[in-house]
Amino acid sequence: MNDAQTARMLEDLEELVVCESFSSDLEAVARSAKVVAAMGARHLGAAPEFLVIDGVTHLRWTFGTPKVLLLGHHDTVWPIGTLATHPWSVTDGVARGPGVFDMKAGLVQMFHALAGLGTLDGVTLLVTGDEEVGSLTSAPLIEDSARGMAAAFVAEASADGGALKTARKGTSIYRLDVHGRAAHAGLEPEKGANAGVELAHQILAVAALGSGATTVTPTVLSGGSAQNTVPAAASVAVDVRAAEVREQDRVDAAIRALRPVVPGTRLEVLGGPNRPPLEAAMSASLYALANRLAAELGLGTLPSAAVGGASDGNFTAGVGCPTLDGLGAVGGGAHADHEHVLVAEMPRRTALLRALVEAVR
């Protein structure tokens, strides 16, 4: 890819980055979807379907009889106004701005990869609008789009050093709500049922469920209403990451089997598995293919990584579709102030993605 083509990719990337798309701002996500749709129409010669589910805007292009799914998202973790403190810039071959790495550069690379194909027959491109908040509205859409496909290629950002993501832990999200009974902490504490003490028991029990690669982490805590009152309510959020479905199921069963310890309290368990694991077996053949194609393209050997973070690729793997993730930007700093993309790697990753699509469809 020549300098002029790289410049066009940067123009597209700037257009996406300066259109902020915070997941929780549905109007911003809708505006972003229009920008992404127009860009896709320019490159692909066709307008997408606009799929609005519970106010969240997703986009899908389908060409011929689908065989290959390309998957990405246009929402970001950055609140509206972040451009004021994290402006778009390109300096010394490094592009910066909110969402540039996760994953707007990946969207640009997908469009340019497909635009370089002689025909788009057999390709479905799905760009969702709520990946960063758990894909609650898009999960069924992703699964339906992936069923029966020969491959799913996910243009999420790469792991450290440009590694492809060949395995991802599955995620489960819970909230434990403890219901107790309030009482004056000085006059008659014995008449209360302390939800805070009960929550402490439950936090210790939950934290003990982690084992090996499986992590079970209590996160956000809340409880009580006043310093001199026995808490009548308390809650904790719990984040679970598991590399295998059987581990995800084990933790789920254990959390649902929790029982109160403090007399007079009641425990309520909300939530459950969110994304299934992307197990290495689901990416092995595609990773081997990617390395063969990379060698033909002069890109060298592609490293791989198993990561704790989940993506929409977990859903495609969960319905039995071979899935290769991390095909997007090379850089770093996802969700952090130092988020950045190495510009020189964008055309290289674009060529790899194009070759993968050609080889599979």
Three-state helix/strand/coil letters over 73-125: ECCECCCCCHHHCCCCEEECCEEECCCHHHHHHHHHHHHHHHHCCCCCCCEEE
Residues 215 and 349 in one domain: no
Distance set, CA 115 to CA 112, 119, 354 (Å): 5, 9, 9
Q: Domain check: are 11 and 98 in the same one?
A: yes
**What Cα–Cα distance (Å) separates residue 197 from each residue in 226, 255, 267, 270?**
15, 18, 12, 20
> In what helix (H) or strand (E) does residue 93 lie, and over which residues does it extend?
none
Task: Give the number of other CB atoms < 10 A from CB of residue 16.
Answer: 25
CB 170 within 8 A of CB 242: yes
From the candidates 14, 20, 130, 131, which is the catalytic residue? 131
Q: Which two tokens stand for residue 328?
A: 């997007």
Between CA 233 and CA 230 the distance in angstroms is 9
Task: Report strand pairing: 56-63 vs 68-73.
Answer: unpaired
| Same domain? 126 vs 63 | yes
Count of domains in the chain?
2
Is 49 labeled as catalytic in the residue annotation? no
Q: Are residues 109 and 124 in the same domain?
A: yes
Q: Please state, as a whole number, how many other Cβ atoms lie within 10 Å of the Cβ of residue 187.
A: 9
Are 305 and 159 found together in one domain?
A: yes
Q: What is the CATH number of the domain that holds 131?
A: 3.40.630.10
Q: Is the peptide bond before 110 cis (omega within 30 degrees of 0)?
A: no
| 288 shares a domain with 237 | no
CA 162 vs CA 90, 123, 300, 323: distances in Å: 19, 25, 12, 17
Active-site residue (options: 14, 20, 75, 279): 75
Q: Are residues 131 and 15 in the same domain?
A: yes
Pick from 275, 292, 317: which residue ends a domain? 275
Q: What is the pLDDT of residue 3?
A: 86
Residue 127 pairs with which residues in a beta bridge?
59, 72
pTM (predicted TM-score): 0.90
Residue tagged 């050609």 (tokens): 358
- Other residues' Cβ atoms within 10 Å of the Cβ of residue 69: 25
Q: Which of 217, 243, 275 is the last residue of a domain?
A: 275
The question of whether 131 is a catalytic residue gets the answer: yes
Strands lying side by side in the sheet with 56-63: 49-53, 56-63, 123-128, 68-73, 151-154, 323-324
Q: Are residues 240 and 157 in the same domain?
A: no
Residues 313 and 194 in one domain: no
The parts of the chain modelled with pLDDT lower than 70 are 1
Query: Could you give the CA distance from residue 221 to residue 277 in angstroms, rounded to a whole number?
Result: 26
Question: Quick one: 49 and 155 in the same domain?
Answer: yes
Question: Is 70:153 a contact under the CB 8 Å cutoff?
Answer: yes
Domain closes at, from 275, 306, 335: 275
| CATH number, domain containing residue 242 | 3.30.70.360
Residue 69 confidence (pLDDT)? 98
Neighbours of 67 (CB within 10 A): 17
By CB atoms closer than 10 A (0-12, 13-18, 19+), residue 143 is: middle
Query: Are residues 226 and 121 both part of a single domain?
Result: no
User: Could you tell me where the beta strands, DSSP code E, fall in the chain?
Assistant: 49-53, 56-63, 68-73, 89-91, 94-96, 123-128, 151-154, 164-168, 170-179, 215-223, 233-242, 266-275, 304-307, 323-324, 331-332, 340-342
Q: Are 188 and 106 in contact (CB under 8 A)?
A: no
pLDDT given for residue 219 in this prediction: 98
Q: Look up residue 316 and give its two tokens.
A: 């495609």
23/152 same-domain check: yes
**Domain assignment of residue 341, given as a range:** 3-168+277-360
